[in-house]
Amino acid sequence: MPLHSLQRLSPTAVLGLWHLTETPAELWPLLPQASTYQTLLPATADARRQAQWLSGRVLIHRLLSEAELAFPAEIQVRNDATGRPWLVGAGLGDTVSLSHSGQWVAAVLARGGRAGVDVEEIRDKAQRLASKFLAPGEWAAAQAAHSPGAADASAHYTLLWSAKETLYKLAAQRGIIFKTQLLLGEFEWREAGEIPATLVLSGAETRHCICYSQPSPGYVLTYCHEPIP
């Protein structure tokens, strides 16, 4: 389907969502410079992964053309050595963050500053792995928020994982330990809201705000954009 939504986060950044229903064959004609992207498509990707990969780049190009942020006309989306997307042909400091899960693809496109976005299909995996990525206080707070076996517990833990993924992308560094360097503060669990967060790098702490919502039942979305001061 076409671009699902475009949300202005600031004068220099937009958040876009794509509801993925297309096959790879349907996505290729929507992608500028398709011949170039054919050489970049991961050779081992199955049809589902191909569709997610392609729709992410279709979404970014749609944002480039519709977001009115004055990007150069000829831009390609590539991945660096860590797997993060970057914009070939864009200005110094221009940034993009991309995520896909199930039927949703999300991207934040910004002219300067830092950005992170993550979309996750709600599963019980995050709850099972909570002790590995949540600090003791975060885990205790999550456990206190739900009675044993509560139906919305999986959504809560998936949200916590997603928020840390967004904070990790905002940091743009490898080797970060989710449990000790990506910390989430207290918040009221709702369908949409904000989560205070702390990033611990090189002994210094910085404060951030992670926004969250549910693009559709069964999914959570988190994102953050911080313009240049």
What pLDDT, on a 0 to 100 scale, did the predictor assign at position 99? 98
Provide the 3-class DSSP secondary structure of residue 60.
helix
Phi-psi category of residue 87: left, alpha or beta, with phi > 0 → left and psi -120 to 50 → alpha: beta
Question: Can you list the alpha helix ranges (DSSP code H) found in 68-186?
Answer: 125-128, 130-133, 136-144, 153-171, 178-181
**Residues 86/96, Cβ–Cβ less than 8 Å:** yes
What CATH class is the domain 119-226? alpha beta
What pLDDT, on a 0 to 100 scale, did the predictor assign at position 148? 65
What pTM value is reported for the model?
0.95
**Average pLDDT, 10 consecutive residues per value, the chain (229 residues):** 90 96 96 93 92 96 92 90 89 94 97 96 95 95 80 91 97 93 94 96 94 97 92
Distance CA 98, CA 59 (A): 9
Provide the 3-class DSSP secondary structure of residue 209.
strand
Domain boundaries, the chain: 3-112, 119-226
Q: Which residue has the tokens 């191909």?
A: 50
What pLDDT, on a 0 to 100 scale, did the predictor assign at position 180? 97
What pLDDT, on a 0 to 100 scale, did the predictor assign at position 43? 86
Q: Which of 23, 89, 83 is nearest to 58 (CA)?
A: 23
What pLDDT, on a 0 to 100 scale, did the predictor assign at position 1? 63
What pLDDT, on a 0 to 100 scale, did the predictor assign at position 26? 96
CATH superfamily of the domain spanning 3-112: 4'-phosphopantetheinyl transferase domain (3.90.470.20)
Q: Hey, which residues does 104 pair with through a beta bridge?
A: 19, 101
**Fold match, 3-112 / 119-226:** yes
Strand 182-184 with 85-88, pairing: unpaired
